[in-house]
Chain A
Amino acid sequence: MIKIENLCKRFGDKVVLDNLSLEFERGKTTVVLGRSGTGKSVLLKLILRLMDIDSGRIYVDNIDTTDFSELQMMAVRKKMGMLFQGSALFDSMSVFENVAYMLREHTSLSESEIKERVEEKLRFVEMLGTQDLMPSELSGGMQKRIALARAMANNPDYIFFDEPTTGLDPITAQTINELIKRVQVQTHTTVIVVTHDLDSANFVGQKFVLLKDGGISFEGTPSEFNNSNIEFVKLFRTGGKVING
């Protein structure tokens, strides 16, 4: 479980997260929604401590990681996998090397065991056979799938998705959505999806959190979200069409 207490983050004068408190339940998929620039991606980067926290506390598996050093955070990060918005595959490495990266860095698996694991993950994302290709030879959707295989390679307890369907056509986006759902159902991993794509959120989410002005505007189940009468939720749901006329 990941628990966040009174988290604050600002960039210069702009307050991005303001006393945010939130819990991500074990084995569930939580979708963090919000308009662009509301700190959704920042939230993921703060949990992974890719950015420094201004104030507040973050607990991972009931351990307070707020004051952890970079070295201590390394151990925490081994339990997590992250799929970046632009995939962030290592462009000088092949697909195989990308997926095998964490196994080579942090495990003592033999090359044959690594090969087996890489093939297992590539099969999961339906990309078996692309091992020798370079990331530049793949489409955006294929890169996302390889990035997912890489994030899953070490069998993490948590997987974070940063805008997984942004920039993809509806059919490819649905393929990614199905993969996210399969990750949670088959591996019981705790999943956090950051998105503003409501179709994607409704497909994969078990819990919705809507961010507004650095805080939480809504927190509940997808059906509660879809029936909510909170003005901002209605605005977000309809893209402003109903409210504005």
Chain B
Amino acid sequence: MINFNEKIQKVLIDVYEYFLFLLNATRAVFGRPLYTKEVIEQLYQTGYRSISIVSLTGFFTGMVLAFQTGNELSRFGAKAYIGGVVAVSLVRELGPVLTALVVAGRVGAGITAELGSMKVTDQIDAMRAMATDPYKKLVVTRMLALLIMMPVLTVLSDVVGLIGGMVIAVTNLNVGFELYKSTVMNALLVEDLISGLMKPVFFGMLVSSVGCFLGMNTSGGTKGVGSATTMSVVISSIFVLVLDFILTKLTFLMGKPI
């Protein structure tokens, strides 16, 4: 029982420290220096270098989605609507969530491993000793980069997923390209597009902040870096799914089914 209470206490302290960390990072956004060069470097590292894996995920998801739903729709003579089904599923849910999960695994883990290694080898203390704010230099740059790149990667994943769906629709289900395109365009609402861009902003914030928080609080040498990196992927992935549910529920409550 004491052990359980201690665990709860530890979780509450961790949550408190995470929000304190977010507050410090938000404060560090304002004022000079701006570290523009570092932000650009992070845009490249987190965004550009994730293009291939995100595209691959999107393409195969689109194909599988079209294949699975296409066969079911055929039974009801509704396979002509395959474009709409793929578009709505991808843009509303699968695109943002799968991109966030892939980015959590690739970028979030990378951020934690990098910052964690710096922490356990005193490089972050060295940075502070040289009068640099590590929040500004390391945390803010990474969080800004992922806030910008997550929506971009999600849009890319959606587009490539729609292409994947089209490949299956045209080659396997005998649905013409024009018909596929028109059902996609008819199915998507402005709200879908807004949500498709809104969710990734929250996911980007979540993945980058969890990655940075765990990295900056790493202890226990190389073993600690390994544990922190694993934790980063696990926590980010779980909370991407939880946050997705909350955001979807909220938008439904606001009267917009997105």
Contact = CB atoms under 8 A, between A and B. Distances in A.
A90 B134 CA distance: 13
B129 to A, nearest CB: 4
A243 B121 CA distance: 38
Interface string B97-138: 000000000000000000001100111011111111100000
B129 A91 contact: no
User: For this complex, into which size category does the number of interface residues on chain B fall?
Assistant: 10 to 19
Contact of A77 (B118, B122, B123, B128): B128
A72 B221 CA distance: 31
Nearest to A50: B125
Nearest to B135: A70
Interface centre among B117, B121, B127, B131 (most CB of A within 10 A): B131
A18 B162 CA distance: 67
A78 interface: yes
A77 B127 CA distance: 10
Interface string A57-92: 000000000000010001101101110111011110
A100 B67 CA distance: 57
Nearest to B124: A88
A106 interface: yes
Interface residues of A, number: 23
A231 interface: no
Interface in B121-170: 121-123, 125-133
A48 B129 CA distance: 7
Contacts of A82: 126, 129
A132 interface: no
A50 B127 CA distance: 10
Interface string A158-202: 000000000000000000000000000000000000000000000
A45 B129 CA distance: 9
Contacts of A81: 129
A105 interface: yes
A77 to B, nearest CB: 4
Contacts, number: 49
B26 to A, nearest CB: 15
A90 B129 contact: no
A147 to B, nearest CB: 8
A20 interface: no
Contact of B126 (A90, A105, A106): A90
Contact of B133 (A50, A74, A75, A90): A74
Contact of A50 (B117, B129, B132): B129
A82 B132 CA distance: 14
Contacts of B133: 70, 74
Contacts of A77: 128-131
Nearest to A101: B130
A102 interface: yes
A88 B129 CA distance: 11
A80 B126 CA distance: 11
Interface string B33-52: 10000000000000000000
A226 B27 CA distance: 52
B123 A88 contact: yes
Contacts of A101: 130
28 contacts: A48-B129, A50-B125, A50-B129, A74-B131, A74-B133, A75-B131, A77-B128, A77-B130, A77-B131, A78-B131, A81-B129, A82-B126, A84-B129, A85-B122, A86-B121, A86-B122, A88-B122, A88-B123, A88-B125, A88-B126, A90-B118, A90-B127, A91-B117, A102-B130, A102-B131, A105-B131, A105-B132, A106-B131
Interface of A: 45, 48, 50, 70, 74-75, 77-78, 80-82, 84-86, 88-91, 101-102, 105-106, 150
Given A85-B122, A90-B126, 10 more contacts: A48-B129, A75-B131, A80-B129, A82-B126, A90-B127, A91-B121, A101-B130, A105-B33, A105-B132, A150-B130
